[in-house]
């Protein structure tokens, strides 16, 4: 889905470098799968929606978090990984494959064919490390627990890194200052919003 850059990107409280990083991220989100297998990628799209449904926050707009994650898997990573997991791209391929294998073990169907509450059981048990032992699964229950942390970490990170999300949630974290004047935030307004910050307010108790 196409959308416009949010107004805060044009503010002189955003540096040129930060602006171009955020615009590039918007382009990246419009891209295509490059690294994961088609099967794993398709499964990842469903898992992203199950872990972080976007409608409550973005209405009709749905960001393709799976593409953003997929494209990040080609890089050199973030400096570390769990010793019990293989290198990043292989770990994601194996983790997603295993998700289907555990779905089969628990409910005799692939993950995407399950009801939402059954998919939730698979995800919860994977995160908690309580999946049943399964000889044929690529990842052990312990490995699934570790990878589930990476999975959730990447989903929320790519979501919040997107400028449209920052705008909708009223987040001014990238508005630390421009190229020549680094304005920051006024000392007497740290507990209030300033005029240049995105003005959307969303409270966790609010209904969609």
Binding site for another protein (CB under 8 A): 15, 17-18, 21-22, 25, 50-54, 56-57, 76-84, 120, 123-124, 127-128, 146, 149, 152-153, 155-157, 159-161, 166, 169-174, 176-177, 179, 182-188, 190-193, 201-206
Would you call 108 helix, strand, or coil by DSSP? coil
Q: Which is nearer to another protein, 38 or 79 (CB)?
A: 79
CB of 136 to another protein, least distance (A): 25
Q: Which is nearer to another protein, 135 or 192 (CB)?
A: 192
Q: Which two tokens stand for residue 148?
A: 């589930």
State the residue for tokens 């108790």: 205
Yes or no: say if 106 and 122 are a contact pair by the CB < 8 Å rule. Answer: yes
Q: Which is nearer to another protein, 32 or 181 (CB)?
A: 181
CB of 4 to another protein, least distance (A): 19
Q: Which is nearer to another protein, 74 or 160 (CB)?
A: 160
Cβ-count burial of 169 within 10 angstroms (0-12 exposed, 13-18 middle, 19+ buried)? middle
Q: Which is nearer to another protein, 39 or 194 (CB)?
A: 194
CB of 2 to another protein, least distance (A): 22
Q: Which two tokens stand for residue 186?
A: 């006024």
CB of 113 to another protein, least distance (A): 19
> In 3D, which of 155, 138, 21, 38 has the Cα closest to residue 91?
138
CB of 64 to another protein, least distance (A): 16
State the residue for tokens 């989903």: 155
CB of 134 to another protein, least distance (A): 20
Distances (CA, A) of 49 to 46, 54, 111, 151: 5, 7, 13, 12
State the residue for tokens 């400096």: 79
> In 3D, which of 19, 150, 172, 55 has the Cα closest to residue 95?
150
Yes or no: say if 162 and 24 are a contact pair by the CB < 8 Å rule. Answer: no
Q: Which is nearer to another protein, 129 or 134 (CB)?
A: 129
């Amino acid at each position: 889905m196409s959308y416009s850059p949010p107004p805060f990107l044009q503010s002189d409280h955003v540096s040129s470098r930060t602006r171009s990083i955020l615009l590039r991220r918007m382009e990246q989100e419009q891209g295509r799968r490059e690294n994961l297998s088609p099967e794993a990628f398709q499964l990842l799209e469903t898992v992203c929606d199950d872990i972080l449904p976007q409608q409550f926050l973005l209405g009709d707009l749905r960001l393709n978090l799976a593409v953003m994650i997929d494209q990040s898997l080609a890089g050199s990573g973030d400096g570390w990984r769990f010793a019990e997991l293989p290198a990043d791209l292989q770990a994601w391929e194996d983790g997603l494959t295993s998700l289907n294998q555990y779905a089969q073990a628990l409910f005799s169907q692939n993950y995407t064919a399950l009801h939402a509450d059954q998919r939730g059981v698979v995800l919860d048990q994977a995160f908690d490390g309580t999946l049943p032992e399964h000889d044929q699964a690529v990842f052990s229950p312990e490995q699934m627990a570790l990878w589930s942390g990476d999975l959730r970490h990447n989903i929320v990170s790519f979501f919040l890194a997107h400028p449209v999300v920052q705008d909708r949630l009223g987040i001014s974290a990238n508005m630390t200052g421009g190229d020549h004047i680094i304005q920051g935030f006024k000392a007497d307004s740290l507990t209030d919003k300033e005029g240049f910050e995105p003005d959307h307010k969303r409270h966790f108790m609010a209904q969609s």
